[in-house]
Structure 1
Amino acid sequence: MTRSDGRIPLFTRLITAARPAGAHARGSGDVSFAQVRRRAREAEAAGIDALLLADRHAAAPDPADDPHFEAGTLAAALAVSTTSVGFVPSVCTEHTFPYHAARALATLDHLGAGRGGWQPLVHADPDAAANYHREPSTAPERHARATEFAEVLTGLWDSFDDDAFLRDRASGAYFVPERLHALDHAGEYYDVAGPLNIARPPQAHPPLVQRATDPGELALAARIADVVLLPAHSAGEAKAVRDDLREQARRAGRNPGEVLVLLDWPADGATGAADRLLSVYEAEGADGFTLYAPSPDPDTAHDAVLSLAAEVRRTSGGPATPPGPATLRDRLGLTRPAGRHGATV
């Protein structure tokens, strides 16, 4: 991690629910893309670095809790409607094929000039399993599948070297065949030949964002995640969890400095919230924060997050947005992965 601009990474979940209308109002609970786009643009202006786009493969017991839009499609639409904020759609590794996910996420990263990420969904969801005629799997199975899924995605994203495409009219050369690589992955859960039929993403590998709420998910995150989202802890507990996670990443053969830990932080209107957040950051309890608001009203929750984000930017002295174009990896201080086959630019 090489962030030196004084900016604290801030994420939040993009709220796609509408304000409830009257009990007998037609269309109560509906939400328009224009409303969601407005919220995304307001979050961008307030200094949010990335928006988490929730998704699920089954109807929620309460329709108000449904994500309303398919996350990948929504992320692509918002990427061309904004200029700097990142988008991290959820991808269910149980019910999605890796080739399709690799293509969709690479496309998102190209559309947003390097502002894409992804969050694997690995929790048990019997309703989703029923929609795919599958039995719910165990936690170890889900984690093993997610690990292999992530391995296949990064392999597919490395199908083309960075300098594979010449697009030279004079010579008539479109790309260099030797800089295209088949994957030929044969694993426990997936057999994927490759190569991917899209150029290497601007970020090479869109950052993998993983929520960890128990020891098993923490171990998974240490193996595969670039950004780990943790529940709220006290400053001392947060630092202990962060240190443990980084030690697990080191034992997994990774550079622990390339694994960021973002702590959940409530935007509840409490006095001094930004100062307390900064104290946890300065005590190395977290590398950044995921802001959320406890209010059930979507507009109230959205406004509370914007207010806290703006306050954090003012208090910390860091710019709301980085100067000039920046990928999501740039904003987080994460290095761009080299290609596994050699030449990169």
Structure 2
Amino acid sequence: MTVPLLLDLTVGEPDPGTGVVSLAVAVDLVTAAAGAGVVAVRLRDGDAAPGVLDPSVVASYLAPLAPSLGYLVDVPTTQHAPYNTARRVLSLDRATGGRAGVVLRPGVGDDVSDSAPDRPVPAVTPGERWAEYAAVLTGLWESFPREALLGDQEAAIVVDDTLLRPLHHEGAAYRVAGPLDGPSSVQGRPVLAVADVAAIGWEAAASADLVILDPDDLDGAGTALAAALEATGRQRTEVVLAGRWTGAGGSDVAGLPTWAADRGLQAVLLAPEGSATDVREVLSTLSALAPPRSGATGSDTLRRALGLATTRTEVPA
């Protein structure tokens, strides 16, 4: 395949009607995905469905079993303070050697952010909250440059604190000082993705690294993204546009490159509708069509695997 492929998974109490698979089945699927040349797995939060496991916990379990894959974990703004999310995702990123990211889902506030004294719950739209949360995440991920961690035993200097970049964020919904308590990622910063453009709007979505759209939302998406990026001063090469593909195996898979090209996509999220058997069929067809990517050895960062422009703080793994 000529475009990066990602796999859509929801892991928890098995439910064929919703596509939720067990952890044991997820292990088999990510192993097959790595062999088929898939570059990353999106682990969904199940939209608060009962029995769905925390995506970041699942990613931590799966990562050593399929180390060539990247992992994108769903995190809603609801119940998750930005600082806690930044630390959790960066910890996963560190454990996977720079192959982690977050699909930030829109929602309401959290107990930590909303408990500040004399601070009323802000009247912000879902898009405004998402954009502020995203800005805090990216700021925190760049607040502790890797070069600041010295570990100089002779001079008894662990960190060059002059290089730290406290955030001092005072926004409508969040107050975050920072910096984080650990160095930035080898990929510069984890990948920030959005999958709810209809809920937050293109202006907010333009701050992401990866935009994921359902099939019905692809018409005109490239033009809308380009306009939003131009308005914010970002380059088109800084964002990957991905479409959720809900087809089956066989000839449908063979037509994936054309399907993506016709829609101006730079990546495809495989989301076969049905049981785990359907997912296996798609992955089996992919394996038969072409050998795995030569770079799928665990050395790629998630940014490189997606073809994203590198961030200014990226360093060799």
TM-score, reference length from structure 1: 0.78
Alignment CA distance shift 1:267-1:321 (3 Å): farther
2:273 matched residue in structure 1: 294
1:266 matched residue in structure 2: 246
Q: Does 1:193 align with 2:177?
A: yes
Shift of 1:56: 5.2
1:167 matched residue in structure 2: 151
- Choose which of 236, 255, 258 in structure 1 pairs with 2:235: 255
AA matched with 2:301? T
Count how many residue pairs are aligned between Structure 1 and Structure 2. 307
Alignment CA distance shift 1:182-1:20 (3 Å): closer
Q: Does 1:319 align with 2:293?
A: yes
What is the rounded CA distance, in whole Å, between the counterparts of 1:48 and 1:274 in structure 2?
13
What is the rounded CA distance, in whole Å, between the counterparts of 1:171 and 1:37 in structure 2?
46
Shift of 1:35: 3.5
Matches within 5 A, 1:1-345: 7-17=2-12, 33-55=23-45, 58=48, 60=49, 63=50, 66-67=51-52, 69-122=53-106, 141-212=125-196, 214=198, 216-222=200-206, 224-232=207-215, 238=218, 240-269=220-249, 271-283=250-262, 285-295=264-274, 297=275, 299-310=276-287, 314=290, 319=293, 321-322=295-296, 325-339=299-313
What is the rounded CA distance, in whole Å, between the counterparts of 2:79 and 2:282 in structure 1?
32
Alignment CA distance shift 1:310-1:15 (3 Å): farther
What is the rounded CA distance, in whole Å, between the counterparts of 2:122 and 2:44 in structure 1?
21
Contact 1:12–1:51, Cα closer than 8 Å, also in 2: yes
Shift of 1:51: 0.9
What is the rounded CA distance, in whole Å, between the counterparts of 2:129 and 2:309 in structure 1?
26
Alignment CA distance shift 1:344-1:303 (3 Å): closer
Shift of 1:96: 1.1
- Deviation track 1:257-308 (CA, whole Å, cap 9, x = no partner) reads 1111111212323x5223432223344621121111121x3x2132133134
AA matched with 2:213? L
Alignment CA distance shift 1:15-1:55 (3 Å): closer
Alignment CA distance shift 1:17-1:257 (3 Å): same
TM-score, reference length from structure 2: 0.84
Contact 1:225–1:259, Cα closer than 8 Å, also in 2: yes
Shift of 1:244: 2.2
Shift of 1:333: 1.4
Contact 2:195–2:211, Cα closer than 8 Å, also in 1: yes
SS in 1 for 2:255: helix
AA matched with 2:25? Q
Q: Identity of counterpart residues, as a percentage? A: 28
Alignment CA distance shift 1:117-1:79 (3 Å): same
Structure 1: runs of 5+ lacking an equivalent: 1-5, 22-28
What is the rounded CA distance, in whole Å, between the counterparts of 2:225 and 2:198 in structure 1?
12
What is the rounded CA distance, in whole Å, between the counterparts of 1:177 and 1:35 in structure 2?
46
| C-alpha RMSD of matched pairs (Å) | 3.3
Alignment CA distance shift 1:147-1:168 (3 Å): same
Structure 2: runs of 5+ lacking an equivalent: 115-120
Alignment CA distance shift 1:158-1:262 (3 Å): same
Alignment CA distance shift 1:137-1:292 (3 Å): farther
Shift of 1:168: 2.5
What is the rounded CA distance, in whole Å, between the counterparts of 2:96 and 2:272 in structure 1?
27
What is the rounded CA distance, in whole Å, between the counterparts of 2:61 and 2:292 in structure 1?
29
Contact 1:47–1:321, Cα closer than 8 Å, also in 2: no
Shift of 1:153: 1.0
- Deviation track 1:183-241 (CA, whole Å, cap 9, x = no partner) reads 1111111111111111112222211111145384333212x2111111215xxx94632
- Deviation track 1:294-343 (CA, whole Å, cap 9, x = no partner) reads 21x3x2132133134435x62xx77264466100001011123225xxx9
Contact 2:11–2:58, Cα closer than 8 Å, also in 1: no
